[in-house]
Amino acid sequence: MVEAEMAAFIERAAAIYPGHSTSLTPAEQRRIYDEYAAAVTPALPDEVATQNAEFRTGAGHSIALRLYRNRATRHEAARGAVLYFHGGGFVLGSLDSHQLVTARLAADTGLDVIAVDYRLAPEHPAPAAHDDCMEVTRAALAGRLPFDLRAGAPLQLAGDSAGATLAASVAMRLRDEAVQGISGLVLVYPMLGTEPQSPARESEAHAPMLTLTDVHAFRDLYWGTHPPYPAWTIPLDATRYDRLPPTLAIGVEHDPLRDDARVFAERISAAGGEAKLLIGAGLVHGCWRAIESSPGVQKLHEEVCRFLSTHATQASPAGR
């Protein structure tokens, strides 16, 4: 059963954003999605300051970044950072669309949060978004981002939906290359394969806010309709799950992607790693935007903040 406060949020959201439609062009989808995000995004918290910058990739294109910093912790030497990759099915989303999440994370943890505006599909198909997030992460680990981050401060990766795919993929590839420095990994209602895991794939195929048809449409716009796909971009197609950073995987009850989080966490645990699984009862995909009204979302957010704060001063064992 959908939480009562969540049902009210779904009704409000549906009046603005009727959902993904393959009949619309990507530009039209983005316009409607951005209007929806703006309508449910409150003002920036008073304690959070922002700084915009651009990162130039080795290939020569620019990636917009935005730093969210809690003014109360700006002088703390132990301040860590979180790279945040937004959701939107690899097709939608921007620095602005997910500011509700990134600003609240900075406000409630005291950590620096850096939002990454990676390239979107279908103009830039796979592995473009993955490549962008990988390059930004490498630069962050090397102290080459255009912000005054403390050298050697712990770095964590986080993302929601498609952004969680990016975060997980980057962490796994860095593990494969024995690159150290990622102290935590947070995945919120993640899409971790090209086909959702059962039983949610069947039982939640027509869930509010995201349907199985939507998942397939986004998948095809990013990865295309003809496999094979770039192997490293699909976390649940990996052959090993050991030596990953401590991971928090959060699924939500009414979401065809719910069991992606469960399967990923189970595989990490089976490989001897540290993985915590949370399933948000009564919640739906994209629910983080209802943080001001939903008790379930508030609990979800508190779990994310607790995890990030706990691992903000710990070195990752991955790659050792």
C-alpha distances in angstroms, 123 versus 83, 90, 126, 134? 24, 10, 10, 19
Report whether 286 contacts 300 (CB < 8 A): no
Confirm whether 96 is a catalytic residue: no
- Which candidate in 98, 130, 254, 285 is catalytic? 285
- Which candidate in 161, 169, 183, 294 is catalytic? 161
Report whether 13 contacts 35 (CB < 8 A): no
Confirm whether 21 is a catalytic residue: no
- Radius of gyration from C-alpha coordinates of the chain: 18
Confirm whether 260 is a catalytic residue: no
Report whether 13 contacts 40 (CB < 8 A): yes
Tell me how far apart the alpha carbons of residues 303 and 184 are, in angstroms, rounded to a whole number: 13
Tell me how far apart the alpha carbons of residues 222 and 244 are, in angstroms, rounded to a whole number: 26
The pair of structure tokens assigned to 21 is 């439609």
Tell me how far apart the alpha carbons of residues 304 and 308 are, in angstroms, rounded to a whole number: 6
- Which candidate in 214, 255, 259, 260 is catalytic? 255
Tell me how far apart the alpha carbons of residues 295 and 298 are, in angstroms, rounded to a whole number: 5
Catalytic annotation, residues? 161, 255, 285
